[in-house]
A and B are shown apart, each in its own frame.
Chain A
Amino acid sequence: MSGLVRLLTPLAAFPGASVPHVLSPTGGSCTIDGVTGQITGLCTAKGSISLPINYAALVPIFVLFGGALLLLLLSATLPRKSYASPWPSLPGLWASLTSLAGVGTVVDGLVQWHDVGAASVVPITLGDQLFYDHMSAFFTIMFGAATVLGALMSDGYLVREGLDGPEPYVLMLSASTGAVLMAQAAGLITLFIGLEILSISLYAMTAYHRRRAASGEAGLKYFVLGSFASAIFIYGAALIYGATGSTQYLGIITFLISNAVVHNGVLLAGMGLVIVGLAFKVAAVPFHFWSPDVYQGAPTPFVGYMAAVAKAGGFAGLLRVLMLALPTQTSNWRPIIWGLAVASVVFGSVLALAQSDLKRLLAYSSVSQAGYVLIGLQPGTPGGVTAVCFYLFTYTFMVIGTFAIVGVLQGRGEARNDLSSVRGLAARSPWLAAGLLVLLLGQAGIPLTSGFLGKWVVIAAAIDKGQYALGLVGMLGAAIAAFFYLRVALLMFMPAEPTTATVEAEVPAMAYAGSDLQSVATAGLTGRDTVLVLRAPPTSRLRVPGPTAAVVALCVVFTIFAGVSTPLLSLSHAIALPWYF
């Protein structure tokens, strides 16, 4: 707890911060009559004068949300036409502006990283609502990068699908804003606001493909289930407030330290509900049910973005809540996380084995990846924090790159999402195949990729805490995962000619459009894992839009870079250094 004391010291040294609403006689030319309480002169509330707002912490939010507003304004004032780039190697107007905002966020994240290294910076700001520390800077960089990559890879897809416009980018920017807020949140309420900004943007993005019924259906499912999870979360926050009298992490922990709260039912229930709410966001088993359907239905580039950002946002929340607000309850939450981790790794991997749809396969694989992050979270140690942050950062690049390629492969109208669509890719487009190979190997955790190091640090964190069973599950899960990742990789190198009789896929009734929402929401039409069928692989020439190619190249290079060198790992170590207990 020494770190926590350190963290609380600057606040304690600031008189009055713990007693807001008290007027300050020293603040200005004002006097208070001691007997009547009569105020003369101009007084200011004590907290409000001196509570320092560190605007540096707010810059990413300004940049991202300001970017979203700017896009809206521009789209309202500019003549209504497509601003797709006339040059296929350059992104269109909206994607360019969005990625510019993303780059700004990354740069600001780096500046923040440098800034918060200084000891004089108070790690909490804006009336104790936001953290301004290494972790928030790290996640800001991550979300900024995801925004850049997401915007660039969406460009080609949206143009191809005839969906180009400012709206998805506005949604993406606001989603990133929410995610950054989640990472910065210093209390459950701020966390909830961030969570909702992120989630609602993602619901809309999921349903964005107007002509694909599956997209609308997925969006609705995501929305219904997400609301369910949000309600669970906010109920948990309320219970925690009831038990501790605060929704602020530091308020909670201060209460829990000064009062021996052991095995308090209200607190435990609140904790359980908050965990469930966030576990839904990261798609941990058994709160993962939405993910295969949403991944399958949502526009592919958005899936890549969502897989990276929603997961990272959820984990940022989990990290803060569990390790900052509830470190006294480790004995209670660690078994829950243990169960979630094991279930996610095992079920995610096993279910991925049985998939014939590429996007569903990746959905289950991302469930299993979430399990690995949970393995890193479970020990509740600074080493685990490092592992979680490193894993999420590297996964961001791997999953975005993978979905960028899938978005290209599936062709107009997302015609082909079945596994056999990758057949013969090596012959059709060796570069794309090489890129996909690296990204798949990375997710499978093959050495010399960042995925290997990620799994390594996660499992090492578990082993360090004596969690051998968990480590073993992680390794076995990696073995199963290697199977389905490598199966896709192998398919790429199979000849494009159909070797067996081709059967038309059992097409889920995606064309079920225009029905009333009730029936779509209740009797889902996609979402059944169809039986494995062989379809003739596509043979048409692949057209890879320039920005998408750049995204893939960037992701591949990063996956190798972070796998063979250690700067990112060192950064992740720095996050854990001032960890607050």
Chain B
Amino acid sequence: MVNAAYAIVALPLLGFAINLVWGRKLGEPVAGWVGTIAAAGSFVATLIVWVTELGKPATGRVNDLNIFSWFPVAGLHANFGILIDPLSMTMALFVTGVSTLIHLYSIGYMHRDPGFDRFFIYLNLFLFSMVVLVLGDNFLFSFLGWEGVGFCSYGLVGFWFQREVAAVAAKKAFVTNRVGDMGFLLAMFLMFAHFGSVNYSQVLGTLVHGHATGLLAGATGAISGTTATAITMLLFLGAVGKSAQLPLFIWLPDAMEGPTPISALIHAATMVTAGVYLMSRAAPLLHYAHATSWLIAIVGTASAFVAATVACAQDDIKKALAYSTISQLGYMFMAVGAGDYADGLFHMLTHAFFKALLFLGAGAVIHAMADNQDMKWMGALRPYLPITGATFAVGWLAISGIPPFAGFWSKDAVLSSVWQMNKGLWAVGVLTAGLTAYYMSRQFALVFMGRARWQDGRPAHAAVTAGQVGAHPAGHGGHEAGGPGLPAPSHSAVPHPADPSWTMYLPLIVLAVAAVLGGGINFPAWHLDFLSRFLKPLFPTATVISVSTGTKWALSILTTAIALTGLALGLSTWRTAEHPALEPSFLRRAWRIDEAVAAMVSGPLRMGANMLAFVMDSRVVDGVVNGTAGFMGLSGRALRRVQNGYVRSYALGIGTGLVIILAYLTFRIGG
């Protein structure tokens, strides 16, 4: 078991190393298979560990395996260790599982890309970092993974860095995340100041233990509400950045410039859920920070709603899904804020299935549409792409919350917890559920139903982002960088859509099955709530959901009814592609939040920055630095004269040193 736990981390690293060294030589598709096998091995190792864990009593499922200690000095024990517990296992299972499927899919998707091996290097490094993030046994080690996934995200968003848009998007993602990382770092400093440690077992364990025995006041695990609030608020800032919540969500839609498998893996299924994981991990702290819980719930609700409205007005198939991801992450944060961590994670799991499915399906569509991402230009693709269409339909119904698909169960559980917390938030959540059904139906209708608009030739809209240019330099004509303001890609020929190769549709089918049956892992009746029971020992502080069965039924029926309404509206409206009234530019442009941030940044912030840069930095700091460097260089040159190559000079130097020392010692004599 222990060895398998190490293998979870080691295998992706090994795959990364192999591809880093020999990737170019292995080439396509061997490099891809190496990466996929490494990911699959990691998944199998996770399964082994998980099954072993299941064999233990529910309270004994926490294992802390130290890999090595890094400078155990001055009280800071920076141990790099693996923490095996139900939460990390849940995360590791779906991360490695979904990741394996996406690795496999990428072999087909990245076919003929000149950066094939580079892609898999990043993918394996990403998986390694993500696994470190979720398996790390302390905040510092997890932070290492946190930064690692951030870096890989940067590398993969800008994978086709020859394109200006992609490079800019990558930078934007990176910079925006830095804001959140600052919160994470400050939280760690605070934690260390308060607990003298950043280990989960020491920071959180004492709290859980103290709570369980009711010894909190005065005990070592005691923490004041203020400190807990400060730490959790800062952690949440990190989570907001990584999980793309208001107002730091602006990087995620732009991140869709990356290859579609990346959007599926990093920007939908795994990395963006790191924030939810972090907050769930910090659950014992959140118990003492009600203000943070409220903030989390409110930010989550607001993000869910805002992003859902924006998703209703997007033309780019991937951008619509990106906003939908923000919205779904909002649901997860709602659950965390409501203290129902298990259901937050439940929704994270089901979301990983259906969102990965939708993105991969979108990738197949984009592939079939000659790398065009404009939904307004698609249509009636169902007969051409039978497998993609069917699986996409499953994802669509799952995310819309239609029973018995996975999304229904998890969203329902989240909403009933929120109902207990606050009816207002719940109402927004239900409204968002309706919007979700609406925009997903709109997407499905635009892509798979209606008229085959792509047979007309050129796309109708200028606002088309042409993806995958770098992927297929030959064959699809010269569509340069897309994006608003740039000329639409010109298509020399009408595409001939068809289902992709097996490496691409196999993951679709597997994910579709998961998206249908995923609800079963936490079925709310007949003692089938496996996930909740599995996670329960870890969240003794979780809010007990005491909504009566009758109310639950009522809530479920209401939510489902609203979802079905949204579904019907979406399907019936979007049989034709043009409804300008339903797509106000306010929504198209994401409530202009991006512009607002940009104005803020380029206005007062820029002035301040300019002042710092041109006055403070160039005069004062640079002056000091350059002055020091100049002085050093000057003194270096002056001193060099002493080193003239003559032995007698050297002997004189040594003699002088000796005389100085002896002179000093003379003063010490007798006194």
Task: Decide if B647 touches A225 in the complex (CB within 8 Å).
Answer: yes
**Known contacts A264-B669, A272-B662; is-contact A353 B650 (Cβ 8 Å):** no
Interface size on B, as a range, is 35 or more
Task: Decide if A351 touches B651 in the complex (CB within 8 Å).
Answer: no
CB-CB nearest in chain A for B661: A272
Cβ of A335 < 8 Å from any Cβ of B? yes
Cβ of A208 < 8 Å from any Cβ of B? no
Contacts of A524 in B (CB 8 A): 644-647
Task: Decide if B639 touches A229 in the complex (CB within 8 Å).
Answer: no
Cβ of A332 < 8 Å from any Cβ of B? yes
Cβ of A27 < 8 Å from any Cβ of B? no
Contact stretch, chosen from A135-143, A196-204, A283-291, A406-414: A283-291
Task: Decide if A286 touches B653 in the complex (CB within 8 Å).
Answer: yes
A232 to B661, CA, bound (A): 13
Contact stretch, chosen from B69-77, B327-335, B568-576: B69-77
Cβ of A269 < 8 Å from any Cβ of B? yes
Cβ of A525 < 8 Å from any Cβ of B? yes
Contact stretch, chosen from B9-17, B93-101, B554-562, B629-637: B629-637
Task: Decide if B646 touches A523 in the complex (CB within 8 Å).
Answer: yes
Instruction: Convert B644-669 into 0s and 1s, putting 1 for each residue whose CB lies closer than 8 angstroms to a CB of A.
Output: 11111111011011101110111011
Contacts of B664 in A (CB 8 A): 272, 335-336, 339
CB-CB nearest in chain A for B648: A522
Task: Decide if B645 touches A228 in the complex (CB within 8 Å).
Answer: no
Task: Decide if B70 touches A564 in the complex (CB within 8 Å).
Answer: yes
Cβ of B671 < 8 Å from any Cβ of A? yes
Task: Decide if A528 touches B643 in the complex (CB within 8 Å).
Answer: yes
CB-CB nearest in chain B for A521: B647
Task: Decide if A460 touches B73 in the complex (CB within 8 Å).
Answer: yes
Per the 8 Å Cβ criterion, residues 616-645 of B in contact with A are 629, 632-633, 635-637, 639-640, 642-645
CB-CB nearest in chain B for A349: B632
Smallest CB separation, A322 vs chain B (Å): 14
Task: Decide if A292 touches B643 in the complex (CB within 8 Å).
Answer: yes
A523 to B648, CA, bound (A): 9
Task: Decide if A289 touches B661 in the complex (CB within 8 Å).
Answer: no
User: Which residue of A286, A460, A483 is within 8 Å of B654 (Cβ)?
Assistant: A286
**Known contacts A263-B668, A354-B636, A354-B637; is-contact A460 B74 (Cβ 8 Å):** yes
Smallest CB separation, A138 vs chain B (Å): 20
Best-surrounded residue of B632, B635, B637, B668 (most CB of chain A within 10 A)? B668
Task: Decide if B647 touches A263 in the complex (CB within 8 Å).
Answer: no
Cβ of B218 < 8 Å from any Cβ of A? no
**Known contacts A268-B669, A522-B647, A525-B645; is-contact A280 B654 (Cβ 8 Å):** yes
Task: Decide if B643 touches A221 in the complex (CB within 8 Å).
Answer: no
Contacts of A272 in B (CB 8 A): 658, 661-662, 664-665
Task: Decide if A453 touches B657 in the complex (CB within 8 Å).
Answer: no
**Known contacts A272-B665, A350-B632; is-contact A265 B670 (Cβ 8 Å):** yes
Contacts of A161 in B (CB 8 A): none
Task: Decide if B645 touches A526 in the complex (CB within 8 Å).
Answer: yes
A264 to B71, CA, bound (A): 43
Task: Decide if A529 touches B647 in the complex (CB within 8 Å).
Answer: no
Cβ of A527 < 8 Å from any Cβ of B? yes
Contacts of A269 in B (CB 8 A): 662, 665
Task: Decide if B74 touches A276 in the complex (CB within 8 Å).
Answer: no
Task: Decide if A522 touches B658 in the complex (CB within 8 Å).
Answer: no
Contacts of B643 in A (CB 8 A): 289, 292-293, 351, 527-529
Cβ of A480 < 8 Å from any Cβ of B? yes
Cβ of B68 < 8 Å from any Cβ of A? yes
Best-surrounded residue of B635, B645, B649 (most CB of chain A within 10 A)? B645
Cβ of A113 < 8 Å from any Cβ of B? no
CB-CB nearest in chain B for A566: B69
Contacts of A460 in B (CB 8 A): 73-74
CB-CB nearest in chain B for A224: B647
User: Which residue of B636, B646, B647, B661 is within 8 Å of A275 (Cβ)?
Assistant: B661
CB-CB nearest in chain B for A217: B645
A522 to B651, CA, bound (A): 11
Cβ of A391 < 8 Å from any Cβ of B? no
Cβ of A315 < 8 Å from any Cβ of B? no
Smallest CB separation, A364 vs chain B (Å): 9
Task: Decide if A286 touches B657 in the complex (CB within 8 Å).
Answer: yes
User: Which residue of B640, B647, B660 is within 8 Å of A351 (Cβ)?
Assistant: B640
Majority-rule SS of A interface residues: helix
A335 to B658, CA, bound (A): 14
**Known contacts A350-B635, A350-B636; is-contact A225 B665 (Cβ 8 Å):** no
Task: Decide if B645 touches A293 in the complex (CB within 8 Å).
Answer: yes
Task: Decide if A225 touches B651 in the complex (CB within 8 Å).
Answer: yes
Task: Decide if B633 touches A566 in the complex (CB within 8 Å).
Answer: no
Per the 8 Å Cβ criterion, residues 51-101 of B in contact with A are 68-74, 80
Contacts of B645 in A (CB 8 A): 293, 523-528
Cβ of A565 < 8 Å from any Cβ of B? yes
Cβ of A347 < 8 Å from any Cβ of B? yes
A347 to B69, CA, bound (A): 35
Smallest CB separation, B212 vs chain A (Å): 34
Task: Decide if B633 touches A354 in the complex (CB within 8 Å).
Answer: yes
Contacts of A287 in B (CB 8 A): 653-654, 657
Task: Decide if A263 touches B639 in the complex (CB within 8 Å).
Answer: no
Cβ of A456 < 8 Å from any Cβ of B? yes
User: Which residue of A332, A350, A528, A529 is within 8 Å of B668 (Cβ)?
Assistant: A332
User: Which residue of B80, B640, B656, B669 is within 8 Å of A286 (Cβ)?
Assistant: B656
Task: Decide if A353 touches B636 in the complex (CB within 8 Å).
Answer: yes
Cβ of A271 < 8 Å from any Cβ of B? yes
Task: Decide if A332 touches B658 in the complex (CB within 8 Å).
Answer: no
Smallest CB separation, B148 vs chain A (Å): 14
A188 to B614, CA, bound (A): 61
A275 to B654, CA, bound (A): 12
Contacts of B653 in A (CB 8 A): 286-287, 289
Instruction: Convert A506-529 into 0s and 1s, putting 1 for each residue whose CB lies closer than 8 angstroms to a CB of B.
Output: 000000000000000111111111
**Known contacts A225-B647, A527-B643; is-contact A263 B669 (Cβ 8 Å):** yes
Task: Decide if B72 touches A265 in the complex (CB within 8 Å).
Answer: no
Smallest CB separation, A546 vs chain B (Å): 18
User: Which residue of A225, A263, A353 is within 8 Å of B671 (Cβ)?
Assistant: A263
Contacts of B661 in A (CB 8 A): 272, 275-276, 336, 339
Contacts of A268 in B (CB 8 A): 665, 668-669
Task: Decide if A273 touches B658 in the complex (CB within 8 Å).
Answer: yes
Contacts of B73 in A (CB 8 A): 456-457, 460
Contacts of B635 in A (CB 8 A): 350
A285 to B642, CA, bound (A): 13
Contacts of A225 in B (CB 8 A): 647, 650-651, 654
Task: Decide if B669 touches A229 in the complex (CB within 8 Å).
Answer: no
Smallest CB separation, A152 vs chain B (Å): 23
A339 to B654, CA, bound (A): 14
**Known contacts A232-B658, A287-B657, A350-B639; is-contact A456 B648 (Cβ 8 Å):** no
A456 to B617, CA, bound (A): 30
A332 to B656, CA, bound (A): 19
Contacts of B660 in A (CB 8 A): 339
Per the 8 Å Cβ criterion, residues 463-499 of A in contact with B are 480, 483
Per the 8 Å Cβ criterion, residues 553-578 of A in contact with B are 564-566, 569
Contacts of A523 in B (CB 8 A): 645-646
- 16 example contacts (A-B, Cβ-Cβ < 8 A) are as follows A225-B650, A263-B671, A276-B661, A286-B654, A289-B650, A289-B654, A293-B643, A336-B664, A351-B639, A354-B640, A453-B71, A456-B71, A456-B73, A523-B646, A528-B645, A566-B72
**A-B pairs with the 6 shortest C-beta distances?**
A527-B645, A524-B645, A354-B636, A289-B650, A286-B657, A529-B640
A-B contact sample (15 more), CB < 8 A, given A280-B654, A290-B650? A265-B666, A265-B669, A265-B670, A268-B668, A269-B662, A269-B665, A272-B658, A272-B662, A336-B664, A350-B632, A351-B640, A460-B73, A522-B647, A529-B640, A565-B69
Residues on A lying within 8 angstroms of B by beta carbon are 221, 224-225, 228-229, 232, 263-265, 268-269, 271-273, 275-276, 279-280, 285-287, 289-290, 292-293, 332, 335-336, 339, 347, 350-351, 353-354, 453, 456-457, 460, 480, 483, 521-529, 564-566, 569
